[in-house]
Amino acid sequence: MLYSMTGFGRAESIVNGRQVVVEVKALNGKQFDINTKLPPILRSYDLDIRNMMSTMLQRGTIDLTISVKQEGASKPMVINTDLALFYYQGMKQIAEQTGLPQDNIISTLMRLPEVVAPDTDVLPEAEWIGVRAVIEQAAKDLMQHRKHEGEALLKDISLRINNIEQLHAKILPLEPERIERVRARITQWLEDMANKEKIDQNRFEQEMIYYLERMDFSEEKIRLKQHCDYFNSTVNENDTAIGRKLNFILQEIGREINTLGSKANHAEIQQIVINMKDELEKAKEQILNIL
């Protein structure tokens, strides 16, 4: 089963009167790299959040945004009651001594420094459990998105590997003709270089066998088929993150295809190899998007 590297997840819930909204976006990345935008109340849980995302999302460039709102405010406010009372006593005394009205004392108090300040306290452990569940749900939503995109990628990549296997099968009927062409070319070359009567037939056969053995690509064909079979079995594994493994298998497929091309010495086989390489490159491009 393949999962795409890219995806988007979102979740929201009410946790003890706080509205928690989590959005997480994933892009391609060789390693796990996360950028977080957290409200002050969650800063102390930053490491926990990063570890949780690393475990659930495994790989990619992650952007995580968490919003915590209470009673319509994104930054809950608290009143420093002791400080407000201290200011109130002083202002009341001044008002009584000067005969000024006391109607606006409260509104004035609210504007004094540090009487009203953002709530930067650490989120209680009990509430953190609820917030954590919302974050996990957003990550699960992203993974579901990744899975859906992965299904489309699987169809395309499987098509590329199947095309390589079909091209591989086309080489077999061309092999007898390929060998005969090589033999005829060497014979003609020898006849041009020397009189036919002077050719040692035993030595000629030995040299021919040696040359043909060097051109033989039976092992490469077998390994290419094995690598394709291994690739097809690997994409059906239940492991979530297999992108790196599949990339390694494609590299091995590429080595065998290159060797086939270097040993071919046959125009039609060379064309088949070129088409194989084209399909392989298309598969490699898609593998970059696999988790």
Closest CA to 119 of 52, 50, 73, 186: 73
- Give residue 46's pLDDT: 93
- Give residue 213's pLDDT: 67
**Secondary structure (3-state) at 85:** helix
Domain annotation for the chain: domains and CATH numbers: 7-74+122-145 (3.30.230.10), 77-118 (no CATH), 149-287 (no CATH)
- Give residue 184's pLDDT: 75
One-letter-per-residue 3-state SS of 157-177 = HHHHHHHHHHHHHHHHHHHHH
Closest CA to 5 of 58, 62, 60, 64: 60
- Give residue 4's pLDDT: 93
Inter-CA distances, 72 with 67, 126, 187, Å: 12, 22, 91
Q: Report how far residue 263's alpha carbon sits from residue 218's, in angstroms, rounded to the nearest whole number.
A: 11
Identify residue 178 by its one-letter amino acid code: R
Burial class of residue 201 (count of CB atoms within 10 Å of its CB; 0-12, 13-18, 19+): exposed
Tens of pLDDT along the chain (291 residues) come to 789 999 999 999 998 888 999 999 999 988 999 999 998 888 889 999 999 999 999 999 999 999 988 755 555 566 777 777 877 787 777 877 777 777 777 777 777 776 665 555 678 888 899 999 999 999 999 999 999 999 999 999 999 999 999 999 998 888 777 777 777 777 776 666 665 556 666 766 666 666 666 777 888 889 999 999 999 999 888 888 899 999 999 999 999 999 888 888 788 889 999 999 999 999 999 998 998
